């Protein structure tokens, strides 16, 4: 497991940039063909790649007890992910082995999974437990008709699912502890935007746009184009400092409290990120639906070390509402606007510069893995 910079290191780097009017920069320029944001062929190649790597599915905290399950589509495939009585998370194709109907939708807690069509019943381990009117299926061996399982692993507080033979470790080879064991999910939501998943994802990968796009929401509390960036193979850490971090200048190192002085965003390849904000943590998955539409899967969690009390939860909810109703709305509007203009012919390529090194790293790795999956 990797280590991310400690708060005192982040503080020192931020203050250095403030004093020198600089920011972390990359060493490359990336030109991404605009057609890759609307091409059906490219979209299908991206889904194929996603099925061939460990794909972020949810925070472990979203499956807190035996029987906790989440049923949703991931990379175009309906999946059912559940925590068993033994505490192990397992993932199955969400399709009854009789006639193929989905067993569950959404999330909840169950002791068994009963197909709504004919009531074939499965255990939390995916084994077929009961066939109504079993005498009508004399040749069916229940042991051969369990749910179709795919690979699920928990790493760094996140559940990853690999649907087919993997072509790489995806995000797994360079992860810090993202979600801590004591963190709790206090809300989750889903919604769909008319924009390619990459356009939406790119809005969280750089701070070059903060002053222009978030001039009344985030910018009054932060800086113009000042970020701390660390690349971890396919993953990346981006720190968005608040200007109140400068209040620590006159304090001794041992007196400095770094909490609430910056937002820390960790990009989990290819389509998820977690944001540690002042009073809550966001875990976001951008699930591709079509070349021009994306489902947001959002989990709002308590912060690390935060005691779960009614008062603290109310503070976390207010923090979450502010982020959801201001900055995220602005990012979503930008991505949808770009999507609408893709076919105008104005751009053959989008050019990402040295302030956008996380995006450059993302596209380089995405292209490499798509080539490997072909």
Task: Please list the residues that pair with 351 across neighbouring strands.
Answer: 31
* pLDDT digit string, tens, across residues 150-164: 999 999 999 999 999
Q: Are residues 121 and 225 in the same domain?
A: no
> CATH no. for residue 78?
2.102.10.10
Question: What was the pLDDT predicted at 78?
Answer: 98
Distance CA 256, CA 253 (A): 5
Task: Please list the residues that pair with 237 across neighbouring strands.
Answer: 230, 266
Distance CA 135, CA 56 (A): 42
Q: Are residues 346 and 359 in the same domain?
A: yes
Q: Are residues 99 and 3 in the same domain?
A: no
Cα angle: 43, vertex 47, 48; to 5 degrees: 115
Which has the closest alpha carbon to 75: 93, 101, 94, 49? 49
At residue 49, the 3 state secondary structure works out as helix
Chain-wide mean pLDDT for the chain? 95
**Angle in degrees, 0-180, between the axes of helices 40-51 and 357-373, rounded to the nearest 10:** 80
Cα angle: 176, vertex 289, 103; to 5 degrees: 85
The CB-side HSE value for 156 (13 A sphere, CA atoms) comes to 20
Q: Are residues 114 and 230 in the same domain?
A: no
The C-alpha torsion from 151 through 156 and 157 to 160, rounded to 10°, is -20
* pLDDT digit string, tens, across residues 275-309: 999 899 999 999 999 999 999 999 999 999 888 88
Last residue of a domain, one of 133, 165, 197: 165
Q: Are residues 220 and 359 in the same domain?
A: yes
Distance CA 65, CA 103 (A): 19
Q: Are residues 181 and 244 in the same domain?
A: yes
- pLDDT more than 90, % of the chain: 90
Q: Are residues 181 and 148 in the same domain?
A: no
Running DSSP on this structure, what letter comes out for residue 4? P
| Domain count across the chain | 2
Question: What was the pLDDT predicted at 307?
Answer: 82
Q: Are residues 217 and 305 in the same domain?
A: yes
Print the domain residue range for 66: 55-165
State the pLDDT confidence band at 203, using cuts at 50, 70 and 90: very high
Last residue of a domain, one of 106, 140, 165: 165
Q: Are residues 232 and 359 in the same domain?
A: yes
> CATH no. for residue 316?
3.90.380.10
20-28 contacts at long range (C-beta below 8 A, 24 or more positions apart): 23/207, 23/225, 23/226, 23/227, 23/355, 24/227, 24/228, 24/229, 24/357, 25/354, 25/355, 25/357, 26/229, 26/354, 26/355, 26/356, 26/357, 26/360, 26/361, 27/354, 27/357, 28/354, 28/357, 28/360
Q: Are residues 67 and 47 in the same domain?
A: no
Distance CA 332, CA 152 (A): 30
Q: Are residues 358 and 304 in the same domain?
A: yes
Residues sharing a CB contact under 8 Å with residue 126, sequence separation 6 or more, in sequence order: 90, 92, 146, 147, 149
Residue 356: pLDDT over 80: yes
State the pLDDT confidence band at 118, using cuts at 50, 70 and 90: very high
153: phi then psi, degrees, rounded to nearest 5: -135, 150
Which has the closest alpha carbon to 237: 211, 218, 262? 262
* pLDDT digit string, tens, across residues 5-28: 999 999 999 999 999 999 999 999
* pLDDT digit string, tens, across residues 54-88: 999 999 999 999 999 999 999 999 999 999 999 99
Question: What was the pLDDT predicted at 317?
Answer: 87
Q: Are residues 305 and 366 in the same domain?
A: yes
State the pLDDT confidence band at 326, using cuts at 50, 70 and 90: confident
Last residue of a domain, one of 165, 191, 217: 165
Distance CA 147, CA 225 (A): 49
């Amino acid at each position: 497991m990797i280590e991310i910079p400690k708060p005192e290191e982040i503080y020192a780097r931020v203050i250095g940039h403030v004093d020198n009017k600089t920011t972390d920069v990359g060493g490359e320029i990336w030109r991404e063909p605009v057609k890759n944001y609307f091409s059906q062929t490219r979209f299908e190649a991206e889904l194929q790649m996603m099925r061939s790597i460990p794909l972020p599915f949810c925070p472990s905290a979203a499956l807190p007890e035996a029987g906790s399950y989440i049923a949703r589509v991931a990379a175009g495939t309906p999946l059912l992910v559940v925590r068993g009585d033994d505490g192990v998370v397992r993932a199955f194709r969400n399709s009854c082995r009789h006639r193929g109907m989905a067993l569950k939708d959404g999330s909840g807690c169950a002791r068994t999974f009963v197909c709504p069509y004919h009531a074939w019943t499965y255990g939390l381990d995916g084994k077929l437990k009961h066939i109504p009117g079993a005498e009508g299926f004399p040749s069916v061996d229940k042991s051969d008709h369990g749910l179709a399982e795919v690979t699920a692993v928990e790493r760094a507080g996140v559940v990853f699912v690999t649907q087919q033979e993997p072509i790489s470790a995806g995000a797994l080879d360079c992860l810090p502890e993202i979600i801590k064991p004591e963190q709790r999910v206090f809300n989750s939501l889903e919604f769909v935007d008319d924009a390619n998943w990459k356009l939406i994802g790119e809005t969280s990968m750089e701070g070059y746009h903060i002053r222009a796009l978030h001039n009344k929401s985030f910018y009054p509390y932060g800086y113009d184009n000042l970020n701390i960036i660390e690349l971890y193979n396919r993953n990346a850490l981006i720190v968005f400092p608040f200007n109140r971090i400068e209040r620590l200048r006159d304090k001794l190192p041992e007196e400095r409290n770094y909490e609430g002085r910056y937002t820390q965003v960790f990009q989990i390849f290819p389509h998820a990120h977690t944001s540690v904000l002042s009073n809550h943590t966001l875990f976001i998955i951008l699930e591709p639906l079509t070349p021009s539409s994306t489902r947001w899967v959002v989990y709002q969690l308590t912060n690390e070390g935060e005691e779960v009390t009614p008062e603290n939860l109310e503070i976390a909810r207010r923090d979450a509402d502010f982020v959801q109703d201001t900055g995220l709305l602005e990012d979503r509007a930008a991505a949808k606007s770009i999507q609408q203009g893709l076919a105008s012919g104005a751009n053959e390529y989008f050019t990402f510069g040295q302030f956008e090194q996380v995006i450059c790293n993302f596209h380089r790795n995405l292209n490499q893995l798509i080539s490997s999956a072909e």
